[in-house]
Amino acid sequence: MDVSTRIVAEERVVAPALERARLLPVDWLRGLVMVLMTVDHASSAFNAGRLVTDAPYLYVPGTPLPAAQFLTRWITHLCAPTFLFLAGYVLFLSVRRRQERGEPEASTTRFIVTRGLLIAALDPLWMVWAHERHLVLQVLYAIGMSFVALAFLRRLPPLLLGALGLVLVVVDEGVARSLSSIGGAGHIAATLTFVPGELGPFRVLYPLVPWLAMMLLGWAAGEIARRDPARFARRLVLAGVLALAVFAAVRGLDGYGNGGLFRADGSWVQWLHTAKYPPSLGYTACELGLAWLLLAALWNANLPRWASAVLTPLGQSALFFYLLHKHLLQLLSEAFGLHHHAGLEASYVAAALTIALLLPLCRAFHRYKQAHPASWARFI
C-alpha cells in the first residue's frame, strides 16, 4: 500500500471526540439539509406555485407570500449556509489528520485544489440538464472555489480565518454595492466574487466571497472543537443565539444588512423574507444561527433508528446524492407530465420518493468509498 492510499484509508481513524464530531452530528445535520434541499428541488420541478422571491430583483413589492408556499421555500434556506459551514469544518479535520500522518503539504494542497476544481466544474458540466439546460454557477461553484481558496488560506491561523469570515459576512453587502456598476474585466471579477449576474452564457447565482466566508467560519469551528470538544456544544448555542439576535436587529432596523430586500410590513412572513442572492447579513445570521443551534442539539443526541437510517447515509454521501437527485426529480416530473404543473402535495411526495430511491445507492457508494479509499470516489 503506497503512502497516499494509506493516508486516505486512515482518514476516519481519529480520536474519539473528533470521530463523534465527524461521523455523527455533522453527518446527521448534512443529511437533514439534504432532505430539505430535496423538498426545494422537488418544488422547483413539480410545483406550479413555487415562490422564489429571495432577492430584490426577484421580488415585486406587494406580491402575496402565501404561508405554505413561502415556508416550503424558507425552510430550505438552511441548506447552502449549513453545507458550506460543515464543509469547512470537515475539511479542517481532514487536513489535520493528514498533517498528523505526515502527508507533505504540497500533496494536501494538490488534493484540495483538484477536488475543489472538480466540484466547481460539475455545475456547468453535470448539473446543466438539471438546471433546465442553463449554464448556472451556483452552490457547487461556490463550494469548489472555496476549497481552492482554503487550500492556500489554511496556512493562516484558524481563528484568524474565522474572524475574516465574520468580517466578510458583514462587509459583503457594501462591497457588492460598490462593485455592481463596474465594467470590463472588473465586471467579470465582481460577478464571480461578489455580485450575482450574467457572464456570457453563464448565470452566476452564487458569487464566491459570501459563501467562502461561511466555509471559513466552519474551518475556525473545527479548531474550536479540537481545542475543547466538551464545551463545543455550549459555544455553538451561544453563537447561535447571538447570530439570531443579529438577524432580529438587522430585520428590525430594516436598513443595511438586508441586501435591499426590506420588510413590507411587520408580519412574520416579511420578517423571514430575507435576501439569499447574494446572501445578506440578515439571511446569513438567521440560517447559520439555526444551523449552530441544530448542531448543538445533535452533538450529544441519540437519534431514533429510523431517523439515523435516513440522515446518516445522506450525510455521508451528500455530494453523491446532490449529483443525482435533481436529475431524478426532473425525470419524474417530465415522465408523469407534471413538470411545473402540480402543487405542494406532489412536490413533497416526489421528494420522499426521490430520497427512498437514492438511499440504497448512497449506502452502496459509501461502502465503495470506504473499500476503495484511493479511488475516484474520494473526490466526491
pLDDT value at position 11?
43
Average pLDDT over residues 125-145: 84
Terminal C-alpha separation, the chain: 22
* Sequence-distant contacts of 267-272: CB under 8 A, at least 24 apart: 269/65, 269/67, 269/70, 270/65, 272/70, 272/74
pLDDT digits (tens, 9 = 90+) for 85-125: 999 999 999 999 899 989 999 999 999 999 999 999 999 99
Cβ-contact 54, 277 below 8 angstroms: yes
Confirm whether 326 is domain-assigned. Answer: no
pLDDT at 300: 87
Diameter of the chain by CA atoms? 64
Asked whether the beta carbons of 276 and 54 are under 8 A apart, the reply is yes
**Does residue 336 lie in a domain region?**
no
Average pLDDT over residues 37-54: 95
Q: With a cut of 60, say whether residue 2 has pLDDT above it.
A: no
The predicted model gives 315-327 an average pLDDT of 96
Closest listed residue to residue 30, CA positions, set 77, 83, 80, 76: 83
In this prediction, residue 132 carries a pLDDT of 60
pLDDT of the residue at 131: 62
pLDDT over threshold 50, residue 1: no
| Structural domain containing residue 136 | 10-320+351-379
**What contacts 217, CB < 8 A, 6 or more positions away?**
85, 88, 162, 165, 166, 169, 288
All cell numbers assigned to 29: 445535520
Confidence of residue 200 (pLDDT cuts 50, 70, 90): confident
In a domain? residue 270: yes
Q: Does residue 60 sit within a domain?
A: yes
Q: Side by side, which strands form the sheet with 197-199?
A: 135-137, 202-204, 197-199
The C-alpha atoms of residue 358 and residue 350 are separated, in whole angstroms, by 12
Output the pLDDT for position 176.
Answer: 94
Rounded Cα–Cα distance for residues 252 and 157 (Å): 35
- d(CA 217, CA 236) in angstroms, rounded, equals 12
User: Residue 133's pLDDT is what?
Assistant: 61
How are beta strands 135-137 and 197-199 bridged, if at all?
A: unpaired
Q: How many distinct structural domains can be found in the chain?
A: 1
User: Could you give the C-alpha distances from 220 to 4, 164, 271, 292, 316, in angstroms and in order?
Assistant: 26, 10, 30, 13, 22
* 177: in domain: yes
Residue 366 CB coordination number (10 Å): 17
Kindly report whether the peptide bond that precedes residue 201 is cis, defined as omega within 30 degrees of 0. no
pLDDT digits (tens, 9 = 90+) for 284-320: 999 999 999 999 999 988 899 999 999 999 999 999 9
Where would I find the beta strands (DSSP E) of the chain? 135-137, 197-199, 202-204
Q: Is 202 helix (H, G, I), strand (E, B) or coil?
A: strand
Q: State whether residue 137 is helix, strand or coil.
A: strand
pLDDT of residue 4: 43
| Alpha-carbon distances, residue 22 vs 40, 65, 90, 233, 315 (angstroms) | 26, 38, 7, 14, 10
Res 287: pLDDT: 98
Q: What is the DSSP letter of 199?
A: E
Q: How confident is the model at residue 130 (pLDDT cuts 50, 70, 90)?
A: low
**pLDDT recorded at residue 180:** 87
Residue 330 lies in a domain: no
Sequence-separated (6 or more) residues with CB below 8 Å from residue 370: 12
Q: What is the pLDDT of residues 236-294, one digit of tens each?
A: 999 999 999 999 999 999 999 999 999 999 999 999 999 999 999 999 999 999 999 99
Backbone φ and ψ for 189, nearest 5 degrees, come out as -65, -40
Domain assignment present for residue 335? The answer is no
Percent of the chain at pLDDT exceeding 70:
93
Q: Is residue 284 part of a domain?
A: yes
